[in-house]
Structure 1
Amino acid sequence: MTSPRKHLVKDFNHFITCYVCKGYLIKPTTVTECLHTFCKSCIVQHFEDSNDCPKCGIQVHETNPREMLRLDNTLEEIIFKLVPGLREKEQQQEIEFWRSRKWKENGEEDGPRSKRSRLDDDDDDDNDGGGDGDYHRSDPQIAISLDCLRNSSLVGENIVKGLMKKFIRCSTRVTVGTIKKFLSLKLKLPSSYELDVLCNGEIMGKDHTMEFIFMTRWRLRGETAYPMVLEYRPRIDFG
C-alpha cells in the first residue's frame, strides 16, 4: 500500500504569493471585483497610480478602487501556518523598521512604512463599521487598560475624565487612531477635540498598532504583561 504523498510548501506557492512583489502574501487583501489577492501594501500602492487590477487589468473602480478591497484574515492565518517562521520574521522586520526611523514626539510625521504597518489608517475605516462587519474579531487579541492621565494644569482637563470601564479587549491590529476615536465617543468629546495617547510616558503616533506598541514600547513581559496600559490626556500643543 502506497503512503499518501507529502506536499511541500512550494506546491502551494501559486496560491500564497503576491503577483506584484512575488513574495508571500502579507496582510492578504482581495479585490472584490475580480477576487484577485495581493499584499495589502502592494495593492494599495498600485492603486495610487492606477484604477485597474494589476493581474487581470479590469477597472476596479472609476475614482476610488481602495473601496473595493477586503482583508482576508483566514488566508493570512493559513499562510502563517504553511510557512514556518514567517509571522515572527514579519514582526521582527516591523520592529526593526520602526526603530530605524526617528519619528516626531507627537508621532504625526508621515514616512515610509513596512508591509505590515503600511496603511493601518485603512484599518481604522474597517473598525468604524465600513468593512465586512467582523471588526477583526478573528485577529489575535490584546487586553488594554485605558487610564486617564490627570494633570490639573492641562487645558481641557475638566471634560477629559476616566472611563467607567477602562479595560478593553481588541485586535492587535487596532491603531492608536482608532483608540482615540473610541475614547472620543465614550467621553462624548467635541469632534474637533484632540487627545494624546501615551505608553510608558511616550506619546504614540496615530498609525501605531497595538501589536507594535506591545512589542516595542511596553516594558513588562510574562505574567505581568497584561493588560497593557495606555494613558490618555488632552493634546498638548508644543508649537
Structure 2
Amino acid sequence: MNKSRKIKITELNRHLTCFLCAGYFIDATTIIECLHSFCRTCIVPFLQKTNQCPMCDVQVHKTRPLLNIRADKTLQSLVYKLVPSLLKNEMGRRREYFASNPDARRSLPPNAREERGELGIESLFIYTDDEDISLSMEYRLPRVAPPHPPPPLADKPDNDEDKTAEESAERKRRHSNTNGTGEGELVDLRYLRCAAAVTIKHLKKFVRSKFGLDTSYQIDVFYKKSEEEALFDDYSLMDIAYIFSWRRTGPLALIYRIYEPNRKRRKISKVKSSTNLKKTISKEKSSELEKTAVVEKTSDTNSNGRPTSSYAEKSSEPPIAHTTNNVIVST
C-alpha cells in the first residue's frame, strides 16, 4: 500500500477562507456566475452596494445580484469537518446573541435551528478530536475455503429435530464459513471507548499488549463493512468515521486479524553442499591417518621400552595405506 501524506490545514486555507473577512467560511454562499464563495454575512452587504464579484469583478446581475447567489452546504460541511471546533464555537456565539436579543429570536422561523445556534455536531455528523467514540474490536480468523464444502442448510434430513443442539450449531458454523466468503470464526470481541484522535497504530499496540505478541506478528485492521483493504496506521477514528460515513447508530465496528511470522529456512545450494562434504571427508581422512600413525608408533616399542626396527628400516619402499569404507589399513 502506498504511504499517505498528511496535509496541514494551512495549505488549504486559501480554499476555506473568505476573501472579504479572511476568516473561515460561515454560511458559505457561492456566486452562480463565477463560483466564488464568501461568508453570507460578508457577500450580502457587499452586493447591496455593487453588482460585481469582489474577486474577479464579473457582473453578478444587472439589477438584483442577490438572486444569483446560493448557499453552499457542501463547502460549509467540508469547512466544519476540517476545522472541528469552528461549528461548536459558532453555535455558542449564536446562542449568546439570541439570548441577549429575544426580539431577533422571535423573527426567525421555528425550524431555523442552525440560525438560532441549536444545531449540534451530532446532527451534522461532525467529529472532534476530543470526542469519545465507541467502537468494537472483533478478532476473526482469516477466511479460508474448506476442502469439502458442507451441505447447505436447506438439505437437512427429516429427523434434524432429533439432533443435539451442539450438532446443529456446528453445522451452522461450518455453513457460515464456506468457500472463503464468510466472515470467519469469531475468536474475541471487545468494546472500547476511545478519543477520536486515536489511530490504528494505537489499536495495534493495544492488541499486542493484550495477547503478548512481539513485532514479528503482523496485525491488520479492517472496517467491518469494507474488508477489501487494511486501514493505514495513521488513520484516526475520526478519519474512519468520515471515510465510511459512520452515523453513531452503533459502535464503530472494526475487525482485526493476526498473522504468524513466516519461518524462513536457509537454502543450501548443491555447489556449497558438495564443498562442505569434501571438507568433511578430508578432515575424517586426516584424523584417521593421525590415529594410524599413533598406533604404529606404539607397536614399534617392545616390552622393555626400546624401539624396534620399523618397516622403513627393513624395506626401502614407503608404507602404502589402503582406504576401504573410510577405514585406513596399513600394509
Under a length normalisation based on structure 1, what TM-score does the superposition of the two structures give?
A: 0.45
Higher relative contact order (CA 8 A, sep 6+): 1
- Structure ranking higher in helix proportion: 2
> What TM-score do you get using the length of structure 2 for normalisation?
0.33
